[in-house]
Amino acid sequence: MRAALAAHDSDEFAADVSDVETRARLTGLVPELKLRVARQVDEDQALAPTEYDPDRLTASGGVSTWLEARATFNLDHLVYANDEPGLLRLSLDRAKFERELLNEVAATFSAWQRARAAMEREGALPEEVEVAEITSIVEASKLDALTDGFFSRRMSTRVSALSAKAATSEPVACPRPSDERLGEQDPLGVALNNAERIGDRYRYVDLFTE
């Protein structure tokens, strides 16, 4: 399950959300700058009659430029950022995804274990063993997809360790003919059948425990 979470960048996602939340709050220390430039042109005419020129007009005009700058600090963002509800919703969606991911990993691993048990079941018919073997391969492929190949790498490591141990110990005969046929195609079965005797034939579950 840890491998599945790591494959889907669980830790990185949590760190990214925390960084975004921190930056959203720090925006309260960064001012919002507003700049405005205005240019005004004034033209005016007025009647200014005189004794000599009763229709005399006077004209006036001018151009003015206005510059305005405004800095606004949103100090309330230091306590509560506007982006926090969206980040919370994103975190809840991520938590739901991770729960579904872990449930899928657990269900797939259980299906793989059941398939392995069916392959090892005493008195199993050849067609039942074949179906169980195919199911085991399919479920192992699913686990590889969910854990970015961790499942196969871990199996290879454990099987290599068991094989090395089996090479230095007395081989144990296969308990039934079907195991011999199965062992030829299944390195995990070979490793277990040649390791020192184990009371529980489903001990392969311990391959994935520290």
Report the SS3 class of residue 92: helix
Task: Please check the confidence at residue 199 and state whether its pLDDT lies above 50.
Answer: no
- For the residues 62-67, what does the mean pLDDT come to? 86
Q: Which two tokens stand for residue 67?
A: 């510059």
- Size of the chain in residues: 210
Which of 207, 189, 99 is closest to 151 using CA atoms?
207
Asked if residue 98 lies in contact with residue 10, where contact means CB atoms within 8 angstroms, the answer is: yes
Domain boundaries, the chain: 32-74, 110-208
pTM over cut 0.85: no
Report the SS3 class of residue 124: coil
- Exposure string of 53-71, with b = 16+ CB inside 10 Å and e = fewer, is eeeeeeeeeeeeeeeeeee
Q: What is the DSSP string of 132-199?
A: HHHHHHHHHHHHHHHHTTHHHHHHHHHHHHHHHHHHTS-----SSHHHHHHHHH-HHHHHHHHSS--S
pLDDT tens-place string over residues 131-153? 999 999 999 999 999 999 999 88
pLDDT tens-place string over residues 147-197? 999 998 888 877 666 666 665 655 544 444 444 433 444 444 444 444 333
